[in-house]
Amino acid sequence: MNEFPVPLSGAQAETLMWAHEHEVEHAALNQLRGISRLPWVRGVRVMPDVHLGKGATVGSVIAMRDALSPSAVGVDIGCGVAAVRTSLTVEDLPDDLAPLRSAIEAAVPVGFSAHERDVDLRPLRLAQRGTGLWRRFGDLHPGVQDRETRAHHQLGTLGGGNHFIEVCASTSGQVWLTLHSGSRNIGKEIAERHIAAAKVLRHNVGLPDRDLAVFLAGTPEMDAYRRDLDWAQDYAALSREVMLALLEGVLRRAFPAVVFSERISIHHNYVTEEVVDGERLLVTRKGAIRAGAGTLGLIPGSMGVGSYVVRGKGDPRSYWSASHGAGRRMSRGEAKRRFTTADLAEQTRGVESRKDAGVLDEAPGAYKDLAAVIAAQEDLVEVVEHLRPLVCVKG
């Protein structure tokens, strides 16, 4: 029997954790306690990949009554993962995977790069979604209206940080494509404007942590944020679909007979309305996926570890949630100070990937043990596949 969940000491609203307090940094615990004390919070659930976040804790699921905190979503609105299983096996791949990595990097811009022109969505069978998305752009916050061209060019691009594209092998040798990405600059611009707007609202003035400022239901500010939030979530989801289509094109050119089947695409920084204990609440997941009964999800680790394909068990104690990844065990700055490029090369041995100083902060040693994170939530998800990375692309 799993020992979790355990209650968080000092919390006001019910806060249940799939991690022990001694395993979590002190600042993150205090951040969670602060969230639990907001008068609108019905409950908080804490995933095993929990760590300190900007504004609100990564790995938190927050159910709020008639209120929503933009910091509890974060600045990468709609960040999430996607995966598709291919008909290829490891035996179909060449010994040298460097050309495949180069082909992926040529098809999908990474880091600060963007497409030189809009991606043609018609051959990707995504034109209707794209048309609907851009038709709504003029309704967004006035402060982002000059970002439309940039947003067009960044659609279907990876970004940097912990975002990745991977070619992986399952335990049976089946080849999968996986990726992790968000809403790029436009999501950040939208989030920052609304976070700033929330902080100056009168009902937030007395909060002990102004980063947790909220919008209240039935107000123009809430309506504006929900509109922009929904748009950014749709943008991020479409961007992942575009990248998957471009990646499938790379494999088709290399392996004309390849077939693509099982597909996963989920957010892990987002908001939904859900019924909790008979009450309709706003549920915010920041670094957490929905793990409803039978729902497929992807929980990635670091660039040397790969990912787990999981199936949700629908546990209401977690608000039907699970972790979004392994979670960091040290900051980016500490990782850069602690690891060398030789460490990175050793930790990513056998993976075709960058091994330079530019990705030291993404060294596998900077992350928690993914297998332990999965084990801590065995009552929330069941493992379907463990995917081992063969190629990892980062910005």
Q: Which residues are catalytic?
A: 324
**Dihedral of alpha carbons 295, 301, 303, 304, sign:** negative
Burial label for 217, CB within 10 Å (0-12, 13-18, 19+), is middle
Rounded to the nearest 5°, which phi and psi values hold at 61?
A: -125, 120
Tell me the C-alpha to C-alpha distance, in Å, between residue 394 and each of 164, 175, 354. 5, 19, 7
CB half-sphere exposure, 174, CA atoms < 13 A:
18
Element (H, E) at 297: strand 296-300
Q: Supply the DSSP symbol for 352.
A: B
- Cα 73 to Cα 281, 285, 353: the distances in Å are 15, 7, 30
CA nearest 277: which of 6, 4, 1, 13? 13
d(CA 165, CA 183): 15
Beta bridge partner(s), residue 312: 381
d(CA 57, CA 29): 9
Burial 337-359 (b: 16+ CB within 10 A, else e): eebeeebbeebbeebbbbbeeeb
Closest CA to 384 of 309, 313, 318: 309
Residues at the annotated binding site? 76, 162-166, 180, 268-269, 300-303, 307, 324-327, 394
Q: What residues are designated binding site for GMP?
A: 162-166, 268-269, 300-303, 307, 324-327, 394
